[in-house]
Structure 1
Amino acid sequence: MLIVAIAFIVLLLMGMPVAFAIAISGTLFFIQHPELPFTIPVQVTVSQTQNFALLAVPLFIMAGNLMNRSGITERLLELASVLTGRLTGGLAQVSIALSALMGGVSGSAIADAAMQSRILGDEMVKRGFPLGFAASVLSYGAVLTPIIPPGIGMILYGTIGQVSIGRLFAAGFVPAFLLWLSLSVAVWLTAKRRGYMPEREQWPTGREAIRAFTGGIWAILFPVFLLLGLRMGVFTPSEIGAFAVVYAIFIGVLIYRKMKVRGFLEAMEGSLGDVGSVMFLIALSAIFSYGIVLDRVPEVVSGWILGVTGNLQGAMILVALFVLVIGFFIDATVLIIMLTPIFLPLIRQLGGDPVHFGIVFILAATIGNFTPPVGAAMYAVCSIMKCPIGAYTRESVPLFAAVALVTLFLIFVPGAVLLLPNLIFG
């Protein structure tokens, strides 16, 4: 597998699309082992697409695109302003709150960061925020998105690792709140030092608060309905995706009445591209994964880590650091698909909870979206706002530190992750 890994890295450095880099490097494993039938790469690729549990992925992607065109963003922006507009930091605080509220709608950190940049980017600069600060806040706020139901990373991790998706959905709420709090504090400290003013001069009236909450209630209830449906056995994880699509159409057509035929067709078009890229990546990753299992890579990696430490927290820190470093160069979706079969058996061997590890693992993998050199969310925000990468990187250091501290806290305090899953699912 060493030659396969080197080939994969070289192909990535050459600029080859990740899916093809995975497939080509994975195929090298079969060239190294001529005793294996060369029909296996085709067979495992096709069989991967027939995994019924993965049906949730395209359905939730479709639901996210429909929700984004349902008119819900404007309501959530008003609610975010009411919740945090009076805090020091103004629109920066509002953007963090909006990311928390939008997490259950978009399901994609990159899409959320890009959307917020278009909505709030120019206004933040007009209010005197440095370009790098505005871009980094808008980017890092989206780190909340993958761990708020229905994050696509949770579905992929749960499907690949045979972990309860319902418990993963429930586990994301408390860490998401801690991330919101830590990012808000980081923004507050920076804003206080630089003298940035609040967005609102006074606290909202009761009438304003009720109107804003009423407008955003349908988005807030979305992940709640998902959890209730799973907990009560009304839906399976695959069926809950279909419910999410129907719910999004219901909100857009009957509640907010913003979704027209053109918006629906645009959502479907966007979903085709998103689903095609994700499912193509998942299918081709089966070639790579076959060699990983056959060469017993999980056992080798587990043996190496156990040689360093036999402590569960120590092992999770090593895994998180490894994923964080690799995430600087590889997208989070790819990391979840490729590394879950390697590291999850190790954590289970050490007595760790797969749900607890899943949240930490997904969070560590996601951070790479916001850091140089190849962070997809970072490039999306910086290209939209025309912000230099250097300015973005300097201003993002406090936000990176805030996310890293929360990740470390979650490793040592598993109760923060498992509280809600245990209460809801037992």
Structure 2
Amino acid sequence: MLIVTLAFVVLLLMGMPVAFAIGVSGSLFFLQHPGLPFTIPVQETISQTQNFALLAVPMFIMAGNLLNRSGITSRLLDLATVLTGRLKGGLAQVSVVLSALTGGVSGSAIADAAMQSRLIGTEMIRRGFARGFTAGVLSFGSVLTPIIPPGIGMILYGTIGQVSIGRLFAAGFVPAFLLWAALASSIWLTARRRGYQPERTERASLGELGTSLRRGIWALLFPVFLLLGLRTGVFTPSEIGAFAVVYALIVGVAIYRELKPGTFFDAMESSLSDIGSVMFLIALSAIFSYGIIFQQVPDLIAGLMLGATEQLYLAIVVIAIFTLAAGFFIDATVLIIMLTPTFLPAIERLGGDPVHFGIVFIIAATVGNFTPPVGAAMYAVCSILKCPVGDYTRESLPLFLAIALTTLALTFLPGVVLFLPNLIFG
């Protein structure tokens, strides 16, 4: 697997698209083992797309695109302004809350960062926020998105690792709140030092709060309905994706009445592009994964970890650091697909809870989207706001530190992560 891994890295550095880099490098494994039929890569690629549980991925992607075009985002922006408008940092604080509120809508950190950059990024700069600070807040704030249901990373991790997706969904809420608190505190300290003013000068009245809650209630209820559906057994993880699409259509057409034929077809076009790229990546990853399993890499990693340390939390920290470092060069989706079958068995052998590990692992993988040299969310935000990467990196360090410390605390406090899933699912 060493040659395969080196080939993957070289192909990435050459600029080959990630999916093709995975497929080509994975195929080299079969050239190294002539005894294996070369029909296996084709069979593995096709069989991966037949995984019934993965039906949830295209369904949630489609639901997210429909909801984003149904008028929900503007309503959630109003609610976020009412909730945090008086905090120092103004629109910066609003953007982090908006990431939390839209987490149940988009499910993608990159999509959320790009959307917010177009929605409020330019206005933040116009109001005096430093360009690098603006880009950093809009990028790192979207770390909340993939751990609030229905984060695509959770679905991939749960499907590949055979972990309860319902428990993963429930486990994301408390860590998301703690990450928001850490980011809000970091923004508050910067705003106090630089004199960034609150968005509102007066406290929101109960009437304003009630109006904003009423306008955004259908987006807030979305993750609640997902959890209730899974907990009561009304839906399986795959079926609840179809429910999400129906829910998005009802909200957009019958309730908000902003999903017109033009915006519907636009959402379908975006969904086809997103689904095609994600599912193609998943399909070709089966070739790479076959070699990992054939060479018993998970058992090797588990043996090395058990030999090096019997401390579960130390092992999780090491994996989180490795994942974070790998995320500097590889997209979070790829990391979750490739590393879950390698690291999860090792953690389970050490007695770790797969849901607790999954949340820490997904956060560590997601942060790579916001960091140089290849962070997709970073480049999306910097491109939209015309922000130099150097300015972005320098201004983002306090935000990165806030997320790192919170993730470290979550590693050593599994009860915090598991409290809600244990309460709901037992």
Q: Identify whether the pair has TM-score above 0.5, normalized to the shorter chain.
A: yes
Q: Tell me what 1:192 maps to.
A: 192
Q: Tell me what 1:368 maps to.
A: 368
Residue 421 of structure 2 corresponds to residue 421 of structure 1: yes
1:38 aligns to what SS in structure 2? Answer: coil
Instruction: Give distance in 2, aligned partners of 1:182 and 1:321.
Output: 19
Residue 337 of structure 2 corresponds to residue 315 of structure 1: no
Residue 295 of structure 2 corresponds to residue 295 of structure 1: yes
Q: Which amino acid aligns with 1:238?
A: S
- Superposed CA deviations along residues 383-410 of structure 1, whole A, max 9, x for unmatched, are 0000000000000000000110111011
Offset at 1:133? 0.4
Q: Tell me what 2:351 maps to.
A: 351
Offset at 1:24? 0.5
**Which aligned pairs between 1:14-29 and structure 2 lie closer than 5 A?**
14-29=14-29
Q: Tell me what 1:217 maps to.
A: 217
- Superposed CA deviations along residues 244-294 of structure 1, whole A, max 9, x for unmatched, are 000011111111111100000000000000000000000000000000000
Residue 385 of structure 2 corresponds to residue 388 of structure 1: no
1:35 aligns to what SS in structure 2? Answer: coil
Q: Tell me what 1:208 maps to.
A: 208
What is the identity percentage for the equivalent residue pairs of Structure 1 and Structure 2? Answer: 74
- Superposed CA deviations along residues 12-57 of structure 1, whole A, max 9, x for unmatched, are 0000000000000000000000000110000010000000000000
Q: Tell me what 1:260 maps to.
A: 260
Q: Which amino acid aligns with 1:300?
A: L
Q: Tell me what 1:179 maps to.
A: 179
2:189 aligns to what SS in structure 1? Answer: helix
Offset at 1:300? 1.6
Q: Tell me what 2:269 maps to.
A: 269
Q: Tell me what 1:150 maps to.
A: 150
Which 10-residue stretch deviates more, 301-310 or 266-275?
301-310
Conservation of the 8 A alpha-carbon contact between 1:332 and 1:369:
yes
Instruction: Give distance in 2, aligned partners of 1:70 and 1:419.
Output: 34
> Where do 5+ consecutive residues of structure 1 fail to align?
none
Conservation of the 8 A alpha-carbon contact between 2:306 and 2:350:
no
Q: Which amino acid aligns with 1:41?
A: P
2:116 aligns to what SS in structure 1? Answer: helix
Q: Which amino acid aligns with 2:376?
A: A
Offset at 1:351? 0.5
Instruction: Give distance in 2, aligned partners of 1:305 and 1:395.
Output: 36
Instruction: Give distance in 1, aligned partners of 2:390 and 2:302.
Output: 37
Offset at 1:303? 2.1
- Superposed CA deviations along residues 113-140 of structure 1, whole A, max 9, x for unmatched, are 0000000011101110000000100111
Offset at 1:207? 1.2
Instruction: Give distance in 2, aligned partners of 1:92 and 1:49.
Output: 40
TM-score by length of 2: 0.99
Offset at 1:206? 1.5
Residue 405 of structure 2 corresponds to residue 400 of structure 1: no
1:93 aligns to what SS in structure 2? Answer: helix
Instruction: Give distance in 1, aligned partners of 2:400 and 2:303.
Output: 31
Residue 26 of structure 2 corresponds to residue 12 of structure 1: no
Q: Tell me what 2:337 maps to.
A: 337
Q: Tell me what 1:30 maps to.
A: 30
Q: Which amino acid aligns with 1:210?
A: G
- Superposed CA deviations along residues 127-186 of structure 1, whole A, max 9, x for unmatched, are 100000001001111000000000000000000000000000000000000011100000
Instruction: Give distance in 1, aligned partners of 2:9 and 2:306.
Output: 26
Q: Which amino acid aligns with 1:333?
A: T
Instruction: Give distance in 2, aligned partners of 1:37 and 1:99.
Output: 47
Instruction: Give distance in 1, aligned partners of 2:407 and 2:199.
Output: 30
1:372 aligns to what SS in structure 2? Answer: coil
Q: Tell me what 2:86 maps to.
A: 86
> Where do 5+ consecutive residues of structure 2 fail to align?
none
Instruction: Give distance in 1, aligned partners of 2:77 and 2:110.
Output: 18
Conservation of the 8 A alpha-carbon contact between 1:114 and 1:381:
yes
Offset at 1:108? 0.5
1:70 aligns to what SS in structure 2? Answer: coil
Offset at 1:308? 2.4
Q: Tell me what 2:102 maps to.
A: 102
Q: Tell me what 1:238 maps to.
A: 238
TM-score by length of 1: 0.99
Aligned residues: 426
Offset at 1:102? 0.5
Conservation of the 8 A alpha-carbon contact between 2:139 and 2:381:
yes
Q: Tell me what 2:47 maps to.
A: 47
2:278 aligns to what SS in structure 1? Answer: helix
Offset at 1:305? 2.2
CA RMSD of superposed structures (Å):
0.6
Residue 116 of structure 2 corresponds to residue 125 of structure 1: no
Instruction: Give distance in 2, aligned partners of 1:189 and 1:26.
Output: 47
Offset at 1:304? 2.2
